[in-house]
Structure 1
Protein backbone atom coordinates (compact mmCIF):
# COMPACT_ATOMS: atom_id res chain seq x y z
CA UNK A 1 0.00 0.00 0.00
CA UNK A 2 1.18 3.50 -0.82
CA UNK A 3 -0.91 6.53 0.12
CA UNK A 4 0.15 10.07 -0.79
CA UNK A 5 -0.17 13.02 1.61
CA UNK A 6 0.30 16.30 -0.19
CA UNK A 7 1.97 19.39 1.24
CA UNK A 8 -1.41 21.17 0.94
CA UNK A 9 -3.00 18.59 3.25
CA UNK A 10 -0.49 19.23 6.03
CA UNK A 11 -1.04 21.52 8.99
CA UNK A 12 0.42 25.02 8.71
CA UNK A 13 1.41 27.84 11.03
CA UNK A 14 2.62 31.40 10.48
CA UNK A 15 3.80 33.27 13.57
CA UNK A 16 5.71 35.93 11.65
CA UNK A 17 9.10 34.89 13.03
CA UNK A 18 8.34 31.20 12.29
CA UNK A 19 6.53 29.51 9.41
CA UNK A 20 5.85 25.79 9.64
CA UNK A 21 4.34 22.81 7.88
CA UNK A 22 3.30 19.84 10.03
CA UNK A 23 2.85 16.32 8.64
CA UNK A 24 1.35 15.08 11.93
CA UNK A 25 -0.52 16.72 14.81
CA UNK A 26 1.69 19.38 16.38
CA UNK A 27 1.11 22.57 18.34
CA UNK A 28 -2.25 24.09 17.45
CA UNK A 29 -2.72 21.64 14.56
CA UNK A 30 -4.56 18.51 15.70
CA UNK A 31 -5.92 15.58 13.74
CA UNK A 32 -6.82 12.51 15.85
CA UNK A 33 -6.01 10.25 12.88
CA UNK A 34 -2.55 11.75 12.42
CA UNK A 35 -0.75 11.45 15.75
CA UNK A 36 2.35 9.98 14.10
CA UNK A 37 3.19 6.84 12.18
CA UNK A 38 4.72 3.91 14.04
CA UNK A 39 7.67 5.39 16.01
CA UNK A 40 7.73 8.57 13.88
CA UNK A 41 5.95 11.19 15.97
CA UNK A 42 6.85 14.48 14.29
CA UNK A 43 7.87 15.51 10.79
CA UNK A 44 7.97 19.29 10.47
CA UNK A 45 9.54 21.72 8.04
CA UNK A 46 10.06 25.13 9.62
CA UNK A 47 11.49 28.46 8.51
CA UNK A 48 12.93 30.79 11.17
CA UNK A 49 13.13 34.51 10.43
CA UNK A 50 16.56 36.14 10.90
CA UNK A 51 17.45 36.00 14.57
CA UNK A 52 14.45 33.76 15.35
CA UNK A 53 14.65 31.29 18.21
CA UNK A 54 12.73 28.55 19.98
CA UNK A 55 13.04 29.15 23.70
CA UNK A 56 14.12 26.29 26.01
CA UNK A 57 11.64 23.44 26.14
CA UNK A 58 11.58 19.85 27.35
CA UNK A 59 10.70 16.80 25.24
CA UNK A 60 9.35 13.33 25.83
CA UNK A 61 12.08 10.70 25.45
CA UNK A 62 12.61 11.02 21.72
CA UNK A 63 15.47 11.31 19.28
CA UNK A 64 15.21 14.71 17.56
CA UNK A 65 16.79 14.79 14.10
CA UNK A 66 17.31 18.20 12.50
CA UNK A 67 18.29 18.49 8.83
CA UNK A 68 19.56 22.00 8.06
CA UNK A 69 18.34 22.91 4.57
CA UNK A 70 19.30 26.59 4.53
CA UNK A 71 21.18 28.85 6.92
CA UNK A 72 22.85 28.08 10.23
CA UNK A 73 21.45 26.93 13.59
CA UNK A 74 22.65 26.61 17.16
CA UNK A 75 21.29 24.11 19.68
CA UNK A 76 21.81 24.43 23.44
CA UNK A 77 20.65 22.39 26.41
CA UNK A 78 20.27 23.18 30.11
CA UNK A 79 23.34 21.05 30.94
CA UNK A 80 25.65 23.40 29.06
CA UNK A 81 26.07 21.52 25.80
CA UNK A 82 25.78 23.35 22.49
CA UNK A 83 26.41 22.66 18.83
CA UNK A 84 26.17 24.68 15.64
CA UNK A 85 25.18 23.33 12.24
CA UNK A 86 25.19 24.70 8.69
CA UNK A 87 23.13 23.88 5.62
CA UNK A 88 23.96 20.34 4.52
CA UNK A 89 24.43 19.02 8.06
CA UNK A 90 22.27 16.86 10.33
CA UNK A 91 22.11 17.09 14.12
CA UNK A 92 20.70 14.32 16.34
CA UNK A 93 19.69 15.16 19.91
CA UNK A 94 19.09 12.25 22.30
CA UNK A 95 16.67 14.15 24.53
CA UNK A 96 16.37 13.40 28.23
CA UNK A 97 13.53 14.05 30.71
CA UNK A 98 14.21 17.16 32.77
CA UNK A 99 16.67 18.62 30.26
CA UNK A 100 15.53 21.63 28.22
CA UNK A 101 16.67 22.44 24.70
CA UNK A 102 16.69 25.66 22.65
CA UNK A 103 17.24 26.41 18.96
CA UNK A 104 18.45 29.66 17.39
CA UNK A 105 18.90 31.05 13.91
CA UNK A 106 22.48 32.31 14.04
CA UNK A 107 21.98 34.85 11.25
CA UNK A 108 20.47 38.29 11.73
CA UNK A 109 20.10 38.64 7.95
CA UNK A 110 19.06 35.28 6.51
CA UNK A 111 16.31 32.74 7.20
CA UNK A 112 16.97 29.31 8.68
CA UNK A 113 15.11 26.40 7.08
CA UNK A 114 15.25 22.95 8.59
CA UNK A 115 13.35 19.69 8.70
CA UNK A 116 12.77 18.10 12.11
CA UNK A 117 11.82 14.52 13.00
CA UNK A 118 10.94 13.09 16.41
CA UNK A 119 11.35 9.34 16.86
CA UNK A 120 10.33 7.40 19.95
CA UNK A 121 13.43 6.26 21.84
CA UNK A 122 13.79 2.88 23.55
CA UNK A 123 13.61 3.60 27.32
CA UNK A 124 16.59 1.39 28.20
CA UNK A 125 19.00 2.70 25.55
CA UNK A 126 21.30 5.68 25.97
CA UNK A 127 23.37 7.24 23.21
CA UNK A 128 25.62 10.27 22.92
CA UNK A 129 23.63 13.41 23.81
CA UNK A 130 24.53 15.12 20.52
CA UNK A 131 25.63 13.67 17.18
CA UNK A 132 26.50 15.57 14.01
CA UNK A 133 26.76 14.47 10.38
CA UNK A 134 27.76 16.31 7.20
CA UNK A 135 25.74 15.36 4.13
CA UNK A 136 27.31 15.71 0.69
CA UNK A 137 24.89 17.46 -1.67
CA UNK A 138 26.14 15.44 -4.61
CA UNK A 139 25.88 11.99 -3.01
CA UNK A 140 23.17 9.94 -4.71
CA UNK A 141 22.42 7.83 -1.64
CA UNK A 142 23.25 8.29 2.05
CA UNK A 143 22.16 6.42 5.17
CA UNK A 144 21.58 9.30 7.59
CA UNK A 145 20.58 7.38 10.73
CA UNK A 146 20.26 3.77 11.84
CA UNK A 147 19.98 1.67 15.02
CA UNK A 148 23.69 0.74 15.05
CA UNK A 149 25.29 3.75 13.39
CA UNK A 150 26.34 1.65 10.40
CA UNK A 151 28.05 3.28 7.40
CA UNK A 152 29.00 6.27 9.58
CA UNK A 153 25.36 7.17 10.11
CA UNK A 154 23.89 8.75 13.22
CA UNK A 155 22.87 6.19 15.85
CA UNK A 156 19.22 6.13 16.90
CA UNK A 157 17.68 4.69 20.07
CA UNK A 158 15.12 2.82 17.97
CA UNK A 159 14.85 0.30 15.14
CA UNK A 160 14.54 2.92 12.39
CA UNK A 161 16.56 3.60 9.24
CA UNK A 162 16.54 7.05 7.60
CA UNK A 163 17.82 7.26 4.03
CA UNK A 164 18.47 10.28 1.82
CA UNK A 165 18.23 9.95 -1.97
CA UNK A 166 19.30 12.67 -4.43
CA UNK A 167 18.41 12.11 -8.08
CA UNK A 168 18.50 13.96 -11.38
CA UNK A 169 15.58 13.79 -13.86
CA UNK A 170 15.17 10.28 -15.26
CA UNK A 171 17.36 8.62 -12.63
CA UNK A 172 15.93 6.00 -10.32
CA UNK A 173 16.95 4.32 -7.09
CA UNK A 174 15.54 1.21 -5.40
CA UNK A 175 15.54 0.77 -1.63
CA UNK A 176 14.80 -2.41 0.36
CA UNK A 177 12.60 -1.89 3.42
CA UNK A 178 13.12 -3.65 6.75
CA UNK A 179 9.61 -3.60 8.12
CA UNK A 180 5.92 -3.25 7.43
CA UNK A 181 5.78 0.55 7.51
CA UNK A 182 7.73 3.43 6.01
CA UNK A 183 7.25 7.10 5.22
CA UNK A 184 8.58 8.83 2.09
CA UNK A 185 9.13 12.60 2.06
CA UNK A 186 10.06 14.83 -0.86
CA UNK A 187 12.25 17.62 0.52
CA UNK A 188 12.35 19.25 -2.89
CA UNK A 189 11.59 18.17 -6.43
CA UNK A 190 9.17 15.69 -7.98
CA UNK A 191 9.31 11.90 -8.20
CA UNK A 192 7.31 8.77 -8.82
CA UNK A 193 7.39 6.05 -6.15
CA UNK A 194 6.65 2.52 -7.38
CA UNK A 195 6.05 -0.61 -5.32
CA UNK A 196 6.83 -4.20 -6.47
CA UNK A 197 3.09 -4.64 -7.18
CA UNK A 198 3.28 -1.59 -9.49
CA UNK A 199 1.28 0.70 -7.24
CA UNK A 200 2.48 4.26 -7.75
CA UNK A 201 2.37 7.65 -6.07
CA UNK A 202 3.49 10.89 -7.73
CA UNK A 203 5.05 13.32 -5.26
CA UNK A 204 5.82 16.99 -5.76
CA UNK A 205 7.92 19.24 -3.54
CA UNK A 206 6.85 18.86 0.10
CA UNK A 207 4.59 15.85 -0.50
CA UNK A 208 4.88 12.62 1.47
CA UNK A 209 3.55 9.07 1.27
CA UNK A 210 2.66 6.35 3.76
CA UNK A 211 3.88 2.88 2.85
CA UNK A 212 2.64 -0.35 4.43
CA UNK A 213 3.57 -3.99 3.84
CA UNK A 214 6.08 -3.26 1.08
CA UNK A 215 9.49 -4.92 0.86
CA UNK A 216 11.00 -2.45 -1.61
CA UNK A 217 10.34 0.94 -3.16
CA UNK A 218 11.73 2.44 -6.37
CA UNK A 219 12.04 6.21 -6.71
CA UNK A 220 12.20 7.81 -10.17
CA UNK A 221 12.95 11.53 -10.45
CA UNK A 222 10.93 13.74 -12.78
CA UNK A 223 12.88 16.85 -11.70
CA UNK A 224 16.00 17.26 -9.54
CA UNK A 225 14.87 15.69 -6.28
CA UNK A 226 16.01 15.22 -2.70
CA UNK A 227 13.94 12.76 -0.69
CA UNK A 228 13.91 11.01 2.67
CA UNK A 229 12.84 7.41 3.17
CA UNK A 230 12.05 6.68 6.81
CA UNK A 231 11.96 2.90 7.34
CA UNK A 232 9.78 2.15 10.42
CA UNK A 233 9.66 -1.52 11.39
CA UNK A 234 8.27 -0.54 14.85
Structure 2
Protein backbone atom coordinates (compact mmCIF):
# COMPACT_ATOMS: atom_id res chain seq x y z
CA UNK A 1 0.00 0.00 0.00
CA UNK A 2 1.22 3.52 -0.72
CA UNK A 3 2.19 5.46 2.39
CA UNK A 4 0.37 8.67 3.25
CA UNK A 5 2.50 11.78 2.93
CA UNK A 6 3.57 13.16 6.30
CA UNK A 7 2.09 16.60 6.93
CA UNK A 8 4.48 19.23 8.29
CA UNK A 9 2.45 20.47 11.25
CA UNK A 10 4.49 23.60 11.99
CA UNK A 11 6.30 25.50 9.24
CA UNK A 12 8.06 28.78 10.05
CA UNK A 13 8.48 31.57 7.52
CA UNK A 14 11.28 33.79 8.83
CA UNK A 15 11.12 37.53 8.24
CA UNK A 16 14.56 37.69 6.63
CA UNK A 17 13.66 34.94 4.14
CA UNK A 18 10.75 36.92 2.64
CA UNK A 19 10.89 38.57 -0.74
CA UNK A 20 12.02 42.19 -0.51
CA UNK A 21 11.87 45.24 -2.77
CA UNK A 22 12.68 48.89 -2.20
CA UNK A 23 11.68 51.41 -4.86
CA UNK A 24 12.49 54.47 -2.76
CA UNK A 25 8.94 55.46 -1.89
CA UNK A 26 7.96 51.87 -1.01
CA UNK A 27 9.89 49.41 1.14
CA UNK A 28 8.05 46.09 1.04
CA UNK A 29 8.44 42.50 2.21
CA UNK A 30 6.46 39.62 0.69
CA UNK A 31 5.64 36.55 2.78
CA UNK A 32 4.32 34.84 -0.38
CA UNK A 33 5.08 35.22 -4.08
CA UNK A 34 3.95 38.63 -5.32
CA UNK A 35 4.65 40.88 -8.32
CA UNK A 36 8.29 40.33 -9.38
CA UNK A 37 9.04 38.05 -6.43
CA UNK A 38 8.38 34.39 -7.22
CA UNK A 39 9.07 31.43 -4.94
CA UNK A 40 7.43 28.15 -5.87
CA UNK A 41 7.64 27.02 -2.24
CA UNK A 42 5.72 30.05 -1.00
CA UNK A 43 2.64 30.64 -3.14
CA UNK A 44 0.23 31.05 -0.23
CA UNK A 45 -1.35 28.95 2.48
CA UNK A 46 -4.90 27.59 2.11
CA UNK A 47 -7.01 30.61 1.00
CA UNK A 48 -4.35 33.04 2.27
CA UNK A 49 -2.57 34.35 -0.82
CA UNK A 50 -0.70 37.54 0.15
CA UNK A 51 0.83 39.08 3.26
CA UNK A 52 2.81 42.17 2.31
CA UNK A 53 4.45 44.36 4.93
CA UNK A 54 4.66 47.84 3.41
CA UNK A 55 6.31 51.09 4.44
CA UNK A 56 5.46 54.12 2.32
CA UNK A 57 7.32 57.42 2.53
CA UNK A 58 5.48 60.70 3.33
CA UNK A 59 3.17 61.97 0.60
CA UNK A 60 3.69 58.93 -1.64
CA UNK A 61 1.63 55.86 -2.36
CA UNK A 62 -0.07 53.55 -4.80
CA UNK A 63 -1.73 55.43 -7.65
CA UNK A 64 -5.10 54.36 -9.00
CA UNK A 65 -5.04 50.68 -9.94
CA UNK A 66 -7.50 47.84 -10.24
CA UNK A 67 -8.32 44.57 -8.47
CA UNK A 68 -10.91 41.87 -8.99
CA UNK A 69 -11.98 38.60 -7.39
CA UNK A 70 -9.91 39.06 -4.24
CA UNK A 71 -10.67 39.74 -0.57
CA UNK A 72 -8.23 42.47 0.54
CA UNK A 73 -7.58 43.34 4.19
CA UNK A 74 -5.44 46.26 5.33
CA UNK A 75 -4.08 46.44 8.88
CA UNK A 76 -2.27 49.66 9.83
CA UNK A 77 0.61 49.55 12.32
CA UNK A 78 1.82 53.18 12.22
CA UNK A 79 0.96 56.41 10.43
CA UNK A 80 -2.12 57.21 8.33
CA UNK A 81 -3.15 55.60 5.05
CA UNK A 82 -5.66 57.37 2.82
CA UNK A 83 -7.96 55.23 0.64
CA UNK A 84 -10.08 56.30 -2.36
CA UNK A 85 -11.93 54.02 -4.76
CA UNK A 86 -14.12 54.07 -7.85
CA UNK A 87 -17.24 53.32 -5.78
CA UNK A 88 -16.85 56.66 -4.00
CA UNK A 89 -15.41 55.39 -0.72
CA UNK A 90 -12.88 57.67 0.97
CA UNK A 91 -11.25 56.88 4.28
CA UNK A 92 -8.14 57.25 6.39
CA UNK A 93 -6.78 54.25 8.25
CA UNK A 94 -4.74 54.65 11.43
CA UNK A 95 -3.31 52.14 13.94
CA UNK A 96 -6.11 49.97 15.24
CA UNK A 97 -8.13 50.41 12.04
CA UNK A 98 -8.89 47.46 9.79
CA UNK A 99 -10.20 47.71 6.24
CA UNK A 100 -11.84 44.99 4.14
CA UNK A 101 -12.46 45.35 0.43
CA UNK A 102 -14.15 42.64 -1.62
CA UNK A 103 -13.07 43.48 -5.17
CA UNK A 104 -15.43 41.04 -6.90
CA UNK A 105 -16.28 42.11 -10.46
CA UNK A 106 -13.66 44.85 -10.27
CA UNK A 107 -12.79 48.07 -8.48
CA UNK A 108 -10.21 50.83 -8.89
CA UNK A 109 -8.56 52.40 -5.87
CA UNK A 110 -5.55 54.35 -4.62
CA UNK A 111 -3.67 54.32 -1.31
CA UNK A 112 -1.49 57.19 -0.13
CA UNK A 113 0.47 58.14 2.94
CA UNK A 114 -1.48 61.08 4.32
CA UNK A 115 1.46 62.41 6.35
CA UNK A 116 4.08 64.81 5.04
CA UNK A 117 6.64 63.81 7.68
CA UNK A 118 6.13 60.18 8.76
CA UNK A 119 6.13 56.82 7.02
CA UNK A 120 2.97 54.75 7.02
CA UNK A 121 3.52 51.11 7.99
CA UNK A 122 0.86 48.51 7.27
CA UNK A 123 0.11 44.92 6.37
CA UNK A 124 -1.86 44.17 3.22
CA UNK A 125 -3.48 40.75 3.13
CA UNK A 126 -5.18 39.02 0.22
CA UNK A 127 -7.55 36.07 0.53
CA UNK A 128 -9.00 34.06 -2.32
CA UNK A 129 -12.81 34.50 -2.29
CA UNK A 130 -15.23 31.60 -2.01
CA UNK A 131 -16.97 32.79 -5.21
CA UNK A 132 -15.97 34.89 -8.21
CA UNK A 133 -17.96 37.72 -9.72
CA UNK A 134 -19.27 39.09 -6.43
CA UNK A 135 -20.48 42.65 -6.04
CA UNK A 136 -17.60 44.83 -4.75
CA UNK A 137 -17.95 45.99 -1.14
CA UNK A 138 -15.93 48.16 1.25
CA UNK A 139 -15.89 48.41 5.04
CA UNK A 140 -13.56 49.68 7.72
CA UNK A 141 -13.70 49.72 11.49
CA UNK A 142 -11.54 50.75 14.43
CA UNK A 143 -10.68 47.96 16.88
CA UNK A 144 -9.11 48.98 20.18
CA UNK A 145 -6.52 46.20 20.19
CA UNK A 146 -4.28 47.94 22.74
CA UNK A 147 -7.15 48.38 25.20
CA UNK A 148 -7.87 44.65 24.98
CA UNK A 149 -4.29 43.52 25.60
CA UNK A 150 -3.87 39.84 26.28
CA UNK A 151 -6.94 38.89 24.23
CA UNK A 152 -7.66 37.78 20.70
CA UNK A 153 -9.97 40.26 18.98
CA UNK A 154 -12.00 39.03 16.00
CA UNK A 155 -11.50 41.71 13.34
CA UNK A 156 -12.54 39.85 10.17
CA UNK A 157 -14.92 36.89 10.08
CA UNK A 158 -16.74 34.63 7.67
CA UNK A 159 -20.07 35.59 9.23
CA UNK A 160 -19.34 39.12 10.46
CA UNK A 161 -20.21 38.16 14.03
CA UNK A 162 -19.32 40.24 17.10
CA UNK A 163 -18.80 43.37 15.02
CA UNK A 164 -16.09 41.87 12.80
CA UNK A 165 -15.81 42.83 9.13
CA UNK A 166 -17.47 40.15 7.00
CA UNK A 167 -15.28 38.39 4.44
CA UNK A 168 -16.35 36.16 1.54
CA UNK A 169 -14.27 33.18 2.63
CA UNK A 170 -14.29 30.60 5.43
CA UNK A 171 -11.70 32.51 7.48
CA UNK A 172 -11.63 34.12 10.90
CA UNK A 173 -8.88 36.68 11.52
CA UNK A 174 -7.96 37.67 15.08
CA UNK A 175 -5.61 40.44 16.22
CA UNK A 176 -3.96 40.43 19.61
CA UNK A 177 -1.58 42.72 21.48
CA UNK A 178 0.45 41.25 24.34
CA UNK A 179 2.39 42.88 27.16
CA UNK A 180 5.04 41.26 29.29
CA UNK A 181 3.56 38.25 31.04
CA UNK A 182 0.48 38.00 28.82
CA UNK A 183 -0.49 34.62 27.39
CA UNK A 184 -3.16 33.78 24.79
CA UNK A 185 -4.43 30.32 23.84
CA UNK A 186 -6.46 29.32 20.81
CA UNK A 187 -8.05 25.98 19.96
CA UNK A 188 -8.66 24.81 16.40
CA UNK A 189 -11.55 22.61 15.42
CA UNK A 190 -10.96 19.50 13.33
CA UNK A 191 -9.92 20.09 9.70
CA UNK A 192 -8.92 23.70 10.36
CA UNK A 193 -5.57 25.34 9.69
CA UNK A 194 -3.78 28.28 11.24
CA UNK A 195 -1.38 31.02 10.27
CA UNK A 196 0.22 33.34 12.83
CA UNK A 197 1.88 36.54 11.62
CA UNK A 198 3.94 38.54 14.09
CA UNK A 199 3.16 42.19 13.40
CA UNK A 200 5.28 43.74 16.16
CA UNK A 201 7.73 42.75 18.87
CA UNK A 202 8.57 39.21 19.89
CA UNK A 203 6.42 36.27 20.95
CA UNK A 204 6.84 32.65 21.96
CA UNK A 205 4.42 30.00 20.76
CA UNK A 206 3.81 26.47 21.94
CA UNK A 207 1.86 24.12 19.65
CA UNK A 208 0.11 21.09 21.18
CA UNK A 209 2.48 21.18 24.21
CA UNK A 210 5.56 20.75 22.01
CA UNK A 211 8.76 22.76 22.39
CA UNK A 212 8.61 26.56 22.53
CA UNK A 213 9.19 28.47 19.30
CA UNK A 214 10.43 32.07 19.44
CA UNK A 215 9.27 34.47 16.73
CA UNK A 216 9.94 38.13 15.98
CA UNK A 217 8.26 40.86 13.94
CA UNK A 218 7.82 39.77 10.33
CA UNK A 219 7.94 36.05 11.10
CA UNK A 220 5.02 33.83 10.19
CA UNK A 221 4.12 30.24 10.97
CA UNK A 222 1.77 27.81 9.22
CA UNK A 223 -0.10 25.35 11.44
CA UNK A 224 -1.60 22.13 10.08
CA UNK A 225 -3.47 19.38 11.92
CA UNK A 226 -2.91 20.92 15.35
CA UNK A 227 -5.35 21.33 18.22
CA UNK A 228 -4.12 24.26 20.26
CA UNK A 229 -1.57 27.03 20.19
CA UNK A 230 -0.40 29.19 23.10
CA UNK A 231 1.18 32.60 22.51
CA UNK A 232 3.11 34.58 25.13
CA UNK A 233 5.76 37.29 25.39
CA UNK A 234 8.45 38.48 27.77
CA UNK A 235 8.38 42.00 26.30
CA UNK A 236 5.66 43.26 23.96
CA UNK A 237 4.17 41.76 20.86
CA UNK A 238 1.30 41.97 18.41
CA UNK A 239 0.04 39.11 16.27
CA UNK A 240 -2.52 38.23 13.65
CA UNK A 241 -4.00 34.74 13.87
CA UNK A 242 -5.85 33.24 10.91
CA UNK A 243 -8.23 30.30 11.37
CA UNK A 244 -8.56 28.84 7.86
CA UNK A 245 -10.60 26.12 6.18
TM-score computed with the length of structure 2 as normaliser: 0.89
Q: Distance in 1 between matches of 2:147 and 2:174?
A: 15
Q: Please say if 1:138 is aligned against 2:147.
A: yes
Larger Rg: 2
Q: Aligned-pair distance for 1:81? A: 2.3
How many pairs align? Answer: 233
- Asked if structure 2 preserves the Cα contact closer than 8 Å seen for 1:147 and 1:156, the reply is yes
Cα drift, residue 227 of structure 1: 0.6
Contact residue 46 and residue 114 of structure 1 kept, 8 A: yes
Provide the rounded CA distance (Å) in 1 between the counterparts of 2:135 and 2:172: 16
Distance verdict in 2 for CA 1:124–1:206, change over 3 Å = closer
Give the drift of 1:201. 2.1
What corresponds to 1:116 in structure 2? Answer: 124
> How far apart, CA to CA, are the structure 2 residues paired with 1:98 and 1:211?
32
2:67 alignment partner, SS class: coil
1:183-194 equivalence runs, <5 A? 183-194=195-206
Task: Answer yes or no: is the 8 Å Cα contact 1:201–1:209 preserved in 2.
Answer: no
The reply to whether residue 166 of structure 1 matches residue 174 of structure 2 is no
Which of 1, 11, 16 is matched with 1:3 structurally? 11
Structure 1 CA distance for aligned equivalents of residues 158 and 106 of structure 2:
24
- 1:91–1:171 Cα change, 3 Å: same
Supply the RMSD in Å over aligned alpha carbons.
1.7
SS at match of 1:189: strand
Range 195-204 or range 150-159, more displaced: 195-204
Is structure 2 residue 42 aligned with structure 1 residue 29? no
Alignment of 1:84-163 (within 5 A): 84-123=92-131, 126=134, 129-136=137-144, 137-140=146-149, 141=151, 142-163=153-174
Mark the runs of 5 or more structure 1 residues left unpaired by the alignment: none
Normalised to the residue count of structure 1, the TM-score between the two structures is 0.93
Change in 2 beyond 3 A, CA 1:100/1:125: closer
1:222 equivalent in alignment to 2:234: yes
Name the CA distance, whole Å, in 2 between partners of 1:221 and 1:34: 27
CA distance in 1, matches of 2:188, 2:83: 32
The answer to whether the 8 Å contact 2:10/2:224 transfers is yes
- Helix, strand or coil at the partner of 1:75: strand
Distance (Å, rounded) in 1 between the aligned partners of 2:108 and 2:47: 22
Query: Superposed, which structure 2 residues align to 1:39-54 within 5 Å?
Result: 39-54=47-62
CA distance in 2, matches of 1:37, 1:212: 10
Which is further off, 18-27 or 167-176?
167-176
**Structure 1 runs of 4+ off > 4 angstroms?**
124-128
